[in-house]
A and B are shown apart, each in its own frame.
Chain A
Amino acid sequence: MSFAELYHALSDTSSTSEKVRLLSEHFRTAAPADLAAAVYVLRGGKVERALSSKQLRELCAEVSGLPLWLIDESYQIVGDLAETIAKLVTGGESTESNSLARWTEMLQPLRQLPLDERKREVAQAWRQMLEHERLVFNKLLTGGLRIGVSRGLVNKALAAAVGVEESLIAQRLLSNRDPATMSLERLREPLHSESDLSPYPFCLAHPIEGGPAALGSPEEWLAEWKWDGIRAQIVKRAGAVAIWSRGEELVSESFPELVELARCLPDGTVLDGEIVALRGGEAADFALLQQRLNRKRLSAALLASIPVGFIAYDILECASADQREAPLGERRQRLQEIVCKLSAANRALRLSEAVPFSSWQHLDELRQAARERGAEGVMIKALGSPYGVGRKRGAWWKWKANPLTVDGVLVYAQRGHGRRAGLYSDYTFAVWRDGDLVPFAKAYSGLTDAEIREVDAFVKRHTREKFGSVRTVEPRLVFEIAFEGIQPSRRHKAGVAVRFPRILRWRRDKPAEEADSVVSLLALASSVRASGREQT
């Protein structure tokens, strides 16, 4: 089965076991170069984008002989550019060269070429493919497969293909991300040579639904603040340092102050924790860290104005020994010793303090006030548990503070993509200011399919104006919008920027006139801020 066929077979099935079967079968039979490329792209690896969406549409018009507006009309209906182009460029003939490794080889250096040549290469490639191949090629070209295959699933299939433990595969892949050097043989090699700087697979927490009462006695649990930063591991072995994010990226270069700090750790140490931006020496919310991440160049001024810190909450390797089987209580002790030694000299490293609580009720109150400390909520971890791999249930729970919410009015709707192609499923919501509606948030998720269809029908019947794929609709529908953060912002019309907005529910009971106003938004923003740390 070629990679293109694998892609279609994977997207045709909803059965997880069938997906794993297809993947491991492919891994077993693919040529080494194709295997490496497949693992790379299936785990979310990207090919640098050689042509913008506009350039691709123009090239499609050129190659197909169809007018650009008709390409765009078609795209509106299909809802996926890769698929649209795959269909509109016709008459291709498949050749031997349509292997995934060839494609990634061809695409990777494409960006270096002048535009004309890039276009010529892509057009030529299109003509040498059949529709189902062209679609997958275009997916790579437009930035990723998005196929509903998680990394965990790829690991599972690889483990089955190679015949080793899943956790070993996960660990191998973390440090071995260069597609050129990936092979089944390397995946079989033993772990952690001295100079190897690979991290361990991260233990992930589950949201605790319905509260922690079912967890039993509070004494068996450790509570910590849930920090709002980047999950990371600091690895120090044989004098060298690496910092890995949970996204399995090597991020050492972005955080020179943490590299500096890690150099002081004893050899054979791996810490798990959170990278946070510091404001006045205290952890701030993600918005501040984002500002630093947005900059390409790390100037001395930036490092001074937005310093970062590492809040350590676990130790996975100590004196070159794997600690993951030790119970959390023991690991905390070891962690405390190491961190305390260092944090006296370097304030960038700190221990994630235990949050003392007497009862679940008490912890609930603390959780509700988490935002005042720049935290998102609390973490609850079983003191007797080993360090798990991935999303194993039961040992780590996250309990977020209730989201901030306002009631907004639907004012714009846009056609969705993918599963929601052709349906008006992307919405902009507004709140009142002096009798006008001011947009403040865009949200895509939170409604059921049936509700989306209902809103879609409403949008079509109550359109005021159309601009391309966007429609202005009569302001009648009210939705409760939840978000994780809110900040005053001069760049936003409503005077605030909200983070991670999502639709909580459809307020069918509320007429538009009773939706919230800018005043209530601003009040929310200042309540979060006033109770937070001092501003600089």
Chain B
Amino acid sequence: MTREPLLTVSPAGLYCPKAGVYLDPWQPVERALITHAHSDHARPGSKSYLCHHTTVPLLHARLGTSSGQVQGVQYGEETAINGVRFSFFPAGHVPGSAQILAESDGERWVFSGDYKTEDDGVSVPFEAVRCDVFISECTFGLPVFAWRPQTEVFAELHDWWKRNQSQGANSVVSAYALGKAQRLLGHIDRAGGRVLVHSAVWAMCEALGFDMSGLERASAETRAEGALVVVPPAVLGGSWLNRLAPYSLAALSGWMAIRGMRRRRGIEKGFVLSDHADFKGLTSAIRATGASRVLLTHGYTAPFAKWLTEQGVDASELGTSYGTDDGEEQ
């Protein structure tokens, strides 16, 4: 007798038939469980949302939900829905990000959402959850993606800022407003010069209750020299940056590992820093779950599934709509 799978892909998104709820659905549904507030995972229009409590204000800010619509839970706290027990575990991706464990009849499925294995200092670090089936992202599931420790990357970024300062130029860093921006602001030396923050990033920081001491909110009228300016990627190419000239422009992203991608985007300086796990991180996280089956979403699913299969893991691709606009500025 074959059992109905606990989680399956339906037209509206990842679905739990037994509980009648969706995980990170891409269409409006009755009840949605949300791993994190990035736009490919948290979409507007559903009736009710369940997420980690840090994510609650982010959904209000991004989706315009009302307080009665969104329920927050702690990591490890169980919510039973039609006999299926759901609990959220830290994914280490961005503040409030979670993996979702669904448990029923002794079977455990984990949906990873997005995750990384390095402790970024602003999110609760990733925790591997033992399970039977692991639905894992693999945005960077190729061995050419191997991250250096973030301390090294931030040291390099500091040198770059100092160098620009000495030439009287501003240092503009494009960083995703949720996650990357806080990670950056959490690591830079705020006494090293003026630090300007674009209003979109500012709003996200405020929603998170992030420590903003020593930071300045910047508008298109702000003038500065030698400042570090944190802007969302959407600002590039517009006129917002005009008043900050002369400036040097950098991006913080895992894609910056590839020179061709950097050049194509006309970015002078790329700092390789990702909120997703690298190839080794993915492989070790998957092993740590002890899962007998692995289903893959985001990115290089086909080669990564083949690689895992050759390593003796039962792995296959899962067709989803994640991975566009997912905090990596692809």
Which residues of A approach B to under 8 Å, CB–CB? 11-14, 64, 66-67, 69-70, 73-74, 77-80, 83-84, 87-88, 90, 417-423, 449
Residue on A with the closest CB to B307?
A70
Inter-chain contact B306/A12, CB cutoff 8 Å: no
| Residues of the B chain whose Cβ atoms lie less than 8 Å from the Cβ of A14 | 268
A-B contact pairs, 8 of them (CB 8 A): A13-B268, A70-B143, A74-B144, A77-B144, A80-B259, A88-B144, A420-B260, A421-B264
Shortest distance in angstroms between B174's beta carbon and chain A's nearest beta carbon? 16
| Residues of the B chain whose Cβ atoms lie less than 8 Å from the Cβ of A419 | 260, 263-264
Inter-chain pairs besides A70-B142, A70-B307, A87-B143, 11 sampled, C-beta below 8 Å: A66-B143, A74-B144, A77-B144, A78-B144, A80-B260, A87-B144, A419-B260, A419-B264, A421-B259, A422-B260, A423-B264
Question: Contacts A417-B260, A420-B260, A423-B264 known; A73 to B300 CB distance under 8 Å?
Answer: yes
The answer to whether B214 has its CB under 8 Å from any CB of chain A is no
Count how many pairs of residues, one from A and one from B, have CB atoms less than 8 Å apart in the complex: 60
| Residues of the A chain whose Cβ atoms lie less than 8 Å from the Cβ of B307 | 67, 70
Inter-chain contact B258/A12, CB cutoff 8 Å: no
Shortest distance in angstroms between A450's beta carbon and chain B's nearest beta carbon? 12
Which of B144, B258, B264 interacts with A420 by CB under 8 Å?
B264
Inter-chain contact A87/B146, CB cutoff 8 Å: yes
Residue on B with the closest CB to A418?
B260
Shortest distance in angstroms between B309's beta carbon and chain A's nearest beta carbon? 11
Inter-chain contact A70/B303, CB cutoff 8 Å: yes
Shortest distance in angstroms between B126's beta carbon and chain A's nearest beta carbon? 22
Which of A66, A78, A88 interacts with B258 by CB under 8 Å?
A78
Which of A13, A64, A69, A421 interacts with B260 by CB under 8 Å?
A421
| Residues of the A chain whose Cβ atoms lie less than 8 Å from the Cβ of B259 | 11, 80, 83, 421
Name the residue in B146, B263, B264 with the highest tally of chain A Cβ atoms < 10 Å from its Cβ. B264
| Residues of the B chain whose Cβ atoms lie less than 8 Å from the Cβ of A64 | 143
| Residues of the B chain whose Cβ atoms lie less than 8 Å from the Cβ of A90 | 146
Query: Top 6 A-B pairs ranked by shortest CB distance?
Result: A421-B260, A87-B144, A73-B303, A74-B144, A79-B260, A419-B263
Name the residue in A11, A64, A70 with the highest tally of chain B Cβ atoms < 10 Å from its Cβ. A70
| Residues of the B chain whose Cβ atoms lie less than 8 Å from the Cβ of A423 | 264
Shortest distance in angstroms between A118's beta carbon and chain B's nearest beta carbon? 24
B154-194: which residues lie under 8 A (CB-CB) from chain A?
Answer: none
Shortest distance in angstroms between A408's beta carbon and chain B's nearest beta carbon? 26
Residue on A with the closest CB to B266?
A14
| Residues of the B chain whose Cβ atoms lie less than 8 Å from the Cβ of A69 | 303, 306
Shortest distance in angstroms between B321's beta carbon and chain A's nearest beta carbon? 16
The answer to whether B152 has its CB under 8 Å from any CB of chain A is no
Inter-chain contact B258/A421, CB cutoff 8 Å: yes
The answer to whether B261 has its CB under 8 Å from any CB of chain A is yes
| Residues of the A chain whose Cβ atoms lie less than 8 Å from the Cβ of B105 | none
The answer to whether B310 has its CB under 8 Å from any CB of chain A is yes
0/1 string, B263-289, CB within 8 A of A gives 1:
110001100000000000000000000
| Residues of the B chain whose Cβ atoms lie less than 8 Å from the Cβ of A70 | 142-143, 303, 306-307
Inter-chain contact B258/A77, CB cutoff 8 Å: yes
Per the bound structure, the CA–CA distance linking A464 and B268 in Å amounts to: 37
Per the bound structure, the CA–CA distance linking A457 and B173 in Å amounts to: 28
Per the bound structure, the CA–CA distance linking A175 and B236 in Å amounts to: 48
Inter-chain contact A422/B261, CB cutoff 8 Å: yes
Question: Contacts A12-B269, A73-B303 known; A84 to B144 CB distance under 8 Å?
Answer: yes
Shortest distance in angstroms between B249's beta carbon and chain A's nearest beta carbon? 11
| Residues of the B chain whose Cβ atoms lie less than 8 Å from the Cβ of A88 | 143-144
| Residues of the A chain whose Cβ atoms lie less than 8 Å from the Cβ of B264 | 419-421, 423, 449
| Residues of the A chain whose Cβ atoms lie less than 8 Å from the Cβ of B258 | 77-79, 83, 421
